[in-house]
Amino acid sequence: MGSHFRVSATLLFLLITLLSSSAQAFSEEESSLPELSLRVSTSFSIALANLQNQINYTFKRFGLLRRAMTHSSYSEENNKALSVLGESVIQTSVALQSIRKDVDISAKDLNLAIAEAAKVEGSCNADGIRLGLQNVVRVASKTNATAPAVVCGAFRALFGAIAIDSGSSDVAGEVYGKTRSGVWSVVTL
């Protein structure tokens, strides 16, 4: 009986503590909001860190990677310009690789190779999906993060960001070449 009472008293005490702290939580709704956004930004940071490992490039300015993975629907500070730069990095990298492999490649074949790598519905999207960018890129709640334009934009922006971060489009092109090395070797066969 005695231990029964102690258990009930303990339960009652816990219940009161719980109720009063949840009442406090309600009254402190405002201060609980930054905590929420901190949690969200932390999981974003973890996703970015994983992405760095995947591509084996560590950003000196982490903010550039954050921006590269931010769609224009989400923020004014977005990846649009980095994406334009990234597209040209990718095209240059493909041209270098193709001519290194075959210096006699025709202009037509070279243009085809470049167009294929740059196509939003083609390898640009496939490569971005392979890296899992659809799970990393920040978009507005109504925007589909799996849409090819979003994935491809983030994929291009990644290499634009590396070019700015490293101060070299060659470094960015190299990272691009390595992330595609599986694809390159298939193409060579």
Ligand X SMILES: *[C@@H]1O[C@H](CO)[C@@H](O)[C@H](O)[C@H]1NC(C)=O
Site residues, ligand X (CB under 6 A): 56, 144, 146-147
Nearer to ligand X by Cβ, of 74 and 88: the residue is 74
Nearer to ligand X by Cβ, of 20 and 54: the residue is 54
Contacts 24+ apart (CB under 8 A), 130-136: 131/51, 131/54, 131/55, 131/155, 131/158, 131/179, 132/51, 132/54, 133/51, 133/69, 133/158, 135/47, 136/44, 136/47, 136/48, 136/51, 136/69
Contacts 24+ apart (CB under 8 A), 139-148: 139/71, 139/73, 139/74, 140/71, 140/73, 140/74, 142/73, 143/71, 143/73, 143/74, 145/71, 148/120, 148/121, 148/124
Nearer to ligand X by Cβ, of 88 and 146: the residue is 146
Nearer to ligand X by Cβ, of 84 and 129: the residue is 129
Residue type, 167: G
Provide the terminal-to-terminal Cα distance of the chain, rounded to the nearest Å: 81
Tell me how far, at minimum, the Cβ of 49 lies from ligand X, in Å.
15
Structure token pair of residue 32: 């609980």
Tell me how far, at minimum, the Cβ of 77 lies from ligand X, in Å.
24
Nearer to ligand X by Cβ, of 152 and 164: the residue is 152
Structure token pair of residue 142: 């109504």
Tell me how far, at minimum, the Cβ of 106 lies from ligand X, in Å.
32
Tell me how far, at minimum, the Cβ of 188 lies from ligand X, in Å.
19
Tell me how far, at minimum, the Cβ of 133 lies from ligand X, in Å.
13
Nearer to ligand X by Cβ, of 88 and 166: the residue is 166
Tell me how far, at minimum, the Cβ of 166 lies from ligand X, in Å.
11
